[in-house]
Amino acid sequence: MIDSEGHVLTNNHVVEGASQVSVKLSSEGNAYPATVVGAEPDSDLALLQVQAPADQLHPLTLGDSAGMEVGDPVVAIGNPFDLERTVTSGIVSALQREIQAPNGVTIDNVIQTDAAINPGNSGGPLINADGEVIGINSQIETGGSGSEGNVGIGFAIPIDTAKEEIQRLEQGGSSQSGGEAQPGAAFLGISGTSITPELARAFNLPVGEGVLIQQVLEGGPAAEAGIQGATQAATVEGTEFGLGGDIVTAIDGQPVATIEELVAAVDSARPGEAIELMLIRGESTATVSVTLGEQPRSGEAQPLE
């Protein structure tokens, strides 16, 4: 629950294909009808609105997932194996992970946790030590043993990503037609990771914030403009990063500090529109013009930003 108007944030795969949706509020145990306000298969997020009495609506505070660090304590809440109101605890075991949405599109900057997450936890909150939601529990790693249970590795979509999507979800999100990208969505064709001060120190990067390009889609708009991805890999605290790629520091003259800001800027543009990216490559700085393409259908091409 994210506000006093009854909006509930969950995973798209929890409600996809449902003809009827209801939400049970643990404060009294009653189930109330809900409608799907918007869904975004590419980020596996959905926004519901539950028709419940105002005194039963108790929203949680949304935190800042960008401020989380490996080792921070977290709590997951959900209904694993239909065991309602289950709470498990753990730590942030890695950051900057990538997972695939059920439709095959890559979701970046995912939080990895060792808090026990099992089938039935999907859509539930991952909460920090201050009681703030910093992620939406979405997937688990089963280890390929045939078991569907927890093996100590779960993944949560960061709440910062969800915040970027909420306005779009309030307007209906993209069509729920097998994850096809919303018509007219702009496409850059890269994947990247946000540069933090810690990352900058660890790899001696020339800036303390910006977007470090990891991959460039062959034949995509960024590749056509000459933007370069990582050429080598390095690992810090169990998280692998690609190094040697271009660093984006601004778009159309406006500073870019995180991958979320870059994605938001691309999302606000239209296919065929030219944008200017300020890049750092080695010891040089350059401004590159990129003509954005149209977002391909989900699963046709990755990365998606």
The CATH number linked to 253 is 2.30.42.10
93 catalytic residue (yes or no): no
141: in domain = yes
Q: Identify whether residues 267 and 195 lie together within a single domain.
A: yes
Q: Identify whether residues 241 and 282 lie together within a single domain.
A: yes
Q: Identify whether residues 138 and 191 lie together within a single domain.
A: no
Q: What is the pLDDT of residue 238?
A: 65
Q: From 170, 194, 210, give the residue that closes a domain.
A: 170
Q: What's the domain count of the chain?
A: 3
51: in domain = yes
Residue 282: domain span: 186-294
Please tell me which residue in 7, 42, 43, 44 is annotated as part of the active site.
Answer: 44
Q: What is the pLDDT of residue 297?
A: 47
Q: What is the pLDDT of residue 173?
A: 66
Q: Identify whether residues 145 and 240 lie together within a single domain.
A: no
pTM over 0.85: no
**CATH code of residue 23:** 2.40.10.10
305: in domain = no
Q: Rounded distance, CA 37 to CA 42, Å?
A: 16
Q: What is the pLDDT of residue 178?
A: 34
299: in domain = no
Please tell me which residue in 122, 138, 174, 191 is annotated as part of the active site.
Answer: 122
44 catalytic residue (yes or no): yes
| Burial of residue 141, with CB atoms counted within 10 A of its CB: 0-12 exposed, 13-18 middle, 19 or more buried | middle
Q: Identify whether residues 157 and 230 lie together within a single domain.
A: no
Two structure tokens written together for 31: 């189930």
The CA distances from residue 291 to 32, 65, 183, 261, in Å, are: 47, 31, 17, 18
Tens-level pLDDT at each residue, the chain (305 residues): 999 999 999 999 999 888 899 998 876 678 899 999 998 888 899 999 999 998 889 999 999 998 899 999 999 999 888 888 899 999 999 988 888 788 766 787 899 999 999 888 999 999 999 999 999 999 987 665 555 666 778 999 999 999 988 888 887 765 333 333 444 568 898 888 889 888 899 899 999 999 999 889 888 899 999 999 999 988 776 677 889 999 999 999 999 998 878 888 887 888 899 999 999 998 899 999 999 988 654 433 333 33
Q: Rounded distance, CA 39 to CA 11, Å?
A: 9
13 catalytic residue (yes or no): yes
Q: Identify whether residues 149 and 219 lie together within a single domain.
A: no
240: in domain = yes
Q: Identify whether residues 190 and 161 lie together within a single domain.
A: no
Q: Rounded distance, CA 87 to CA 159, Å?
A: 19
Q: What is the pLDDT of residue 28?
A: 66
